[in-house]
Structure 1
Amino acid sequence: MEERRSEPRAAVTGAGVISIDGRTMILCTVTDLSESGVRLTMATTVGVPDVFLLHAPGFGSGVCEVAWRSEAALGGRLTCIAAW
C-alpha cells in the first residue's frame, strides 16, 4: 500500500474521549499519533461527526477533522492542538 501521510506517525496506545457537543462523549483509543494526525479506534464510528473535540490524557486535546473512517476506526487531522 502506498504511504500517503505527510508526517511519520508513532504507534501509541492511550485512552481518549471524543466530545461532540459538550454533553455527548464517546470513548476511544488513540492508536497512532503524529504532529498533525491521529488514528482512533472505538466500538463504532456511527454518530461521530466530521469535526469534534478530542481529549486524550497524556497526549493533549485538540479539534479533529475526520480524514477517513471505517466501522470501528477513523483517521483525523488535528488542529488547535494543546499539549500534544
Structure 2
Amino acid sequence: MSLGLPERRSDERFATMLEGWIRDTESKARIGCSVRDLSQSGVRLVISGSADIPVEFVLEIPGAGATAMTQLVWTDGTHYGARFTS
C-alpha cells in the first residue's frame, strides 16, 4: 500500500548528480544548475540562490554531452521541473 502521492509522470525517472547550465534563448545568459532527476520527457533541476529562470530555455549537460530545448513546468523557488520540447 502506497501512502504517497500518485505518480503522474509518463516516463520513469532516474536520480542523477550531474551539473548543467540553463541558457536563456534570448539573452544567452547562463545559470548553473544541478540535474537531480532525469527522464526521457523531463528533468528536475536544483539552483542554489535566487534566479530568474526563463519559461523556455536550453538545458546543457556537459558531462552527458547533452543539449535540449526545455520548458519550465513548475518551481518551488529552489527546485525546477521542466519538460523537454525537442
Please tell me the TM-score bracket, short chain as reference: 0.7 to 0.9
Higher deviation after alignment, 55-64 or 40-49: 40-49
If the length of structure 2 is used for normalisation, what is the TM-score? 0.84
Q: Which has the larger radius of gyration?
A: 2
If the length of structure 1 is used for normalisation, what is the TM-score? 0.86
**Aligned-partner SS, 2:82:** strand
Structure ranking higher in strand proportion: 1
CA RMSD of aligned residues (A): 1.4
**Which portions of structure 1, spanning 4 or more consecutive aligned residues, are displaced by more than 6 angstroms?**
none
**Match among 3, 6, 9 for residue 5 of structure 1:** 9
How many residue pairs end up in the alignment? Answer: 80
What residue identity is the alignment partner of 1:43? S
Distance 1:16 1:75, change over 3 A: same
**Aligned-partner SS, 1:58:** helix
